[in-house]
Structure 1
Amino acid sequence: MRISRLTPDESGIVPWPTLSVSKKAVVTVGVFDGMHRGHTALLERVKTLAEQQRAYSVVVMFDPRPGVVHHFVKEHQGLEPTAEDLAVDSQALMSVDERAHRMAQLGIDHLLIVSYSMAFAAKSYRFFLGQLVGKIGMRTLVLGSDAEMGSNRAGDIDAIQRLAEATGVFQLDVVEDVGPGYTRVPRTIVPQAPKEAGEPDDPLTHLNKDEQRAWSKSHDAAKVRVWSSTNVRFLLSQGRMVEANEVLGHNHVIEGKVVHGEQRGRDLGFPTANLGDPVGGYIPVDGVYAGWLIDLGEHVKDFGELAGEDTAAISQANVDARISPGSPWRWPAAISIGTKETYEEETGLQQRVVEAYAMSDHWLDLYDHDVRVEFTNFLRPQFKYDTSEELVAQLKKDEHSALTLLQG
């Protein structure tokens, strides 16, 4: 897959590359945060149509997320954010590099990453689609049924279909609603750690319709697709990892660089890999989880920064080898997220940290390595223990619980 990063000029014009002078393109557009099952269905449709039409499969992806840019502008009286302002997006489910990696696995030919700006956002959907037709040879546009684009989001499916029919220069292919339907999610998502051990239940499961309506009203909930980034973000904020992974179609992932911590875990017999800032991907609510720790090695190149096709292929092959089941760089893990309550009074530290204890027979020196943490199950909430001995006893239980789930 060839990756291009495109930065609009001050007037919002994107320097689109020429993909080919003869070969046309099947295109889709979006953010693809989380790369959930709905995204996968859309991209597989793009790939299928491209093969049928002997065209390129092309994804136009926005980074940063448009909602983050518009929120910043609203909160800062119209001031345009800088790259530094948007360097860390704590609400993004997945890093740009991970999205690119998964698109490459699906066999997409071209990924065009457009730096979203307010000048670009001011362009009409007619102008935007005209650019895709004229510059990259788009002949088929694939979108989900709720897609909107362009200034004031005026380009909905009906408007785009009318444009396609009026111009005759491209076709619109709509992927209808996929997945198990809809659910309700609070408009403002507030992380809430489960109070009991084990995977938490859906709070709406045992409520009748009247009680569900009351819950929805009290939480100011909105109707969203089950297969949506918003729903995944809510599930992760509540510790409902199994449900989140079911929507994603894969384990939720975060990535970061291993840094030196207090070495408290090593002293207790449970050495952990501590992730330093920034962390790529959405950090679930505080608690202890079962999952996997994967060593990606030192100086791993970012997918999103790769321009050369050969270099990207080498990097992708390296990552694929390391994350695959049975890889010698992949270990079952117990993952802790939160502050270290047992030692707070002693250390005075309340920093939220992500630590992964890899269950390995060998000593692992992962300092300064890039690592990947995959989550499979919520084990328990964080507790404060009176002594180190009580904490060690609980860590042994966590290790057993995690291994039982992962081996099962």
Structure 2
Amino acid sequence: MTWLSPGDPDDLRARLRREFESAFGSAPDVLGRAPGRVNLMGEHTDYNAGLVLPVALPHATWAAVRRRDDDVVRIRSRQQEHGWEGTVAGCAPGGPQGWAAYAAGVLWALGTGAAEGVEPLSVPGVDLLLDSTVPVGAGLSSSAALECAVAAAVVAALGLDLDTHRPGVVAAAIRAETEVVGAPTGGMDQTVAMLAEAGAALLVDFADGSSRPVDLGLAASGLRLLVTDTRVSHALVDGGYGERRADCEEAARRLGVASLREATPARAEELDDDRLRRRARHITTEIERVRRTVEAFADDDHAALGRLLLASHVSMRDDFEISCPELDAAVETAVEAGAVGARMTGGGFGGSAVALVPAERVEAVARAIDLRFVRDGFAAPAHLLAEPGPGASVRRVGD
């Protein structure tokens, strides 16, 4: 059985500082940290102006940053063999490719104005080293964790207060991923990476951008969040995510609404195109499931939570068509082995499942999933425990 550790923060900071000094010749100015996330309910609803209920993971990406006196940008990662070097101007769309685009794109977005009403920052050249314990391609938002860790560290390196710049960092991270990387993110991942609070999920309403913490009461209920990485890697730039987004936009257009948030399940059934009808049905019912999930946690209603999690998975499997055999097996087996409920999580086409499990059944559920994967001939999965954690933070070296 493979468990993915978030690592000890003090050890990670010390290692990152040592390796930064080795790579670049002197100490960094700032260390930034931003978490991955697991979404409890509300898949693909963010870009439909809907509701989401994610949790920030203890697993995070770390960024060590030092300002330079020129416009040179040097980016390295402990998870990558080769780095990227260029200039601040070269961080624009069409410049860096692959993993480095996520980091370089943030520098470009911060320097050009992340969104309407967000003032551009004077971004100098930087030396940047990354480290991460967020599994890549697992549907746990490793990309947003990287973007937000870089942005938070750069903001602090410029001598600015991170708390007052959190909305701008969210906007910069979204713009980096959509315009430089080319992935059609909806913004949930970046929002929770910056705004999450320890011990709570974050309820985000993308109709108005508001958010509030939601106490899940896990400890009092004796429940844990078990995340299973199926090791089926997904990439949001491969097309499936963008196709679903385009379907939702077309469904909204045919219904005569600005977004599917303004529709209802009954309205979705009016669509005469089967594929669009099923896409709209998932979004409209999923938004309602987010509301009911918040209520079920408040009422400590385990039976309702189990029904909602399973209904969400079935909707993603059948109507939105973003599951896969490994995710279906993980969900089915988790429930059979004693989980309150389970569902796939993230953008889909691989990635992870999340299960709400009584604390005393966690090992048994994880073991049952491992055995099911062996029986079905799948690659061995990995597991982690999602302890709801805080959003991004920074620490100046020497503090």
Structure-2-length-normalised TM-score: 0.26
Structure-1-length-normalised TM-score: 0.25
Query: Looking at both structures, which has the greater relative contact order when contacts are Cα pairs under 8 Å and sequence separation is at least 6?
Result: 2
